[in-house]
Amino acid sequence: MVGMSPSSLAVVVLAAGAGTRMKSATPKVLHPLAGIPLIGHVLSTAEALNPQQTVVVVRHEAEQVSEAVDTWADNAHIVHQDDIPGTGRAVELALEKIPSDVDNVVILSADVPLLDSETIGAMIGFHQEAEAGVTLLSTIHEDPTGYGRIIRRDDGIVTAIVEEVDADEQQRAIHEVNAGVYVARRDILAHALPSLTTANAQGEKYLTDVVGQVATQSGVVHAVVVEDSWLVEGVNDRIQLQRMQRRLNTMIVRGWQRDGVSIKAPESVWIDLSVQLDQDVTLLPGVTLEGSCHIDNGATIGPDCTLSHARVGAGARIQRSVVDSAVIAAGATVGPFAYLRPGTVINEGGKVGAFVETKNATIGRGAKVPHLSYIGDADIGEGANIGAGSITANYDGVNKHRTVIGPHAKTGSDNVFVAPVEVGAGAYTAAGTTIRRNVPAGALAVAPVSVRTIDGWVGTNRPGTAAAEAAENSRTTPDTH
């Protein structure tokens, strides 16, 4: 960390706001950005500052937000904000949990997710060098709507921040805006916060009012201008969130392209931060990769695939399919139009073809389930072939049971395997068979079905139809051979 001993620093993350402008049942700070909730990004950044203490202030949907805090931070204290609204009140309550030997407090907003620890470190360095009371990050926005405006004296010293709703016309014309990220001396904050009032357009205790107070009473306030506005962009509504998702995704996609991944239509490919791709992976249009996906070299995914938590081996090929928590080994092929549900494992060179659904199933090396099947709770042996339109009847209404198909077995089209049931190694089953009992290795299972034909039935029962006419013609057409 830049220029100070980590023991003298605490971080406060503000996450108690209602996020009204999102119009969502999900708390704003839990909306995802590249697979990580907004607050997760901020907590990781906070952790990178190596503070003596991290305090997260929650209120709106406190239980859900606290859960996310536990997931994304190792050692954060949670403070519940009371009925008094505003960022100032949030920091006031957080301060009670910060040890008195802490010199400086960094304040981060849980809705400013792209900010990195280097930029914050530079702010802290500047703060210490300038011996400031408060130092904050600002940026120049072409459209400053919605942000607090930075008011500076002629010599550049910051004298106040005015919120959009409280600003007059002249102040609204200012393009330098408050990023909502601060470092402040603990003693100065402790002195200033209790005297904040709610006498403003939103009836809130504004943290930004501390700036005006400090500037006139107890110290100097500096604003460090961040050149790249994206770093300090806040998320308040769905439009801002989407813009940020698009921006971050573009950066992620470019990063993978530089690392040797072919991405045909980058604007249609979405990749979570947690995804790992090897060289010479090809992503065709319309691919979404979520969670812990790891794709090995030479695999081709797409077009139109959604993979979540999938492990894909070298050279595998997946087309127009949905894959959730499945393992697809090297050289395996999936789709088009397959649905691989959790617990599916396709071993090397295996195939799951068109309109096939699998769940909790292992497909052996080189084994094939090529067409129109449901394979659930099953083990398909190496080199086995499952006929088109086959179903594992795995559920008896109470329990699930397994189907085991032996290596190199060949099952006929339109089979139903009533589990628990086993087809032995190298066995065959006939088309249209319902397999209710185990089939021994090397056997052929056929259901004794006899088909009865009734001559002339159509002519008698469907007279005058095209079918009857065709039948009649075929009967009377002279044999020309």
Strand partners, 176: 140
Question: What is residue 214's three-state secondary structure?
Answer: helix
163 lines the binding site for ligand UD1 (CB under 6 A):
yes
78 lines the binding site for ligand UD1 (CB under 6 A):
no
Binding window for ligand UD1 (CB under 6 A); candidates: 98-106, 107-115, 188-196, 395-403? 107-115
**Helix-helix angle 38-48:117-129, to 10 degrees:** 50
As measured in angstroms, the least distance from the Cβ of 128 to Ca ion is: 27
Exactly one of 10, 30, 46, 57 binds ligand UD1 (CB under 6 A); that residue is 57
**Tokens in use for 210?**
């501390």
Residue whose token pair is 């990023």: 179
135 lines the binding site for ligand UD1 (CB under 6 A):
no
> Is 397 exposed, middle or buried, given 0-12, 13-18 or 19+ CB atoms closer than 10 A?
exposed
Distance CA 53, CA 310 (A): 36
**Tokens in use for 335?**
């789709």
Exactly one of 45, 104, 135, 208 binds ligand UD1 (CB under 6 A); that residue is 208
90 lines the binding site for ligand UD1 (CB under 6 A):
yes
Residues of 366-381 as b/e, b for ≥16 C-beta within 10 angstroms?
bbbbbebbbbbbbbbb
As measured in angstroms, the least distance from the Cβ of 226 to Ca ion is: 16
Residue 41 or 127 having the CB closest to ligand UD1: 41
86 lines the binding site for ligand UD1 (CB under 6 A):
yes
Distance CA 169, CA 322 (A): 53
Distance CA 40, CA 13 (A): 11
Binding residues for Mg(2+): 111, 236
Binding residues for Ca ion (CB under 5 A): 111, 234, 236
14 lines the binding site for ligand UD1 (CB under 6 A):
yes
Single-letter amino acid code for the residue at 29: V
180 lines the binding site for ligand UD1 (CB under 6 A):
yes
Active centre residues (catalytic): 371
As measured in angstroms, the least distance from the Cβ of 245 to ligand UD1 is: 17
Question: What is residue 271's three-state secondary structure?
Answer: strand
Exactly one of 147, 182, 339, 417 binds ligand UD1 (CB under 6 A); that residue is 147
387 binds, among Ca ion, ligand UD1, none (CB under 5 to 8 A by kind): none
Q: Which residues bind ligand UD1 (CB under 6 A)?
A: 14-17, 57, 81, 85-87, 89-90, 109-112, 147-148, 161, 163, 177-180, 206-208, 234, 236
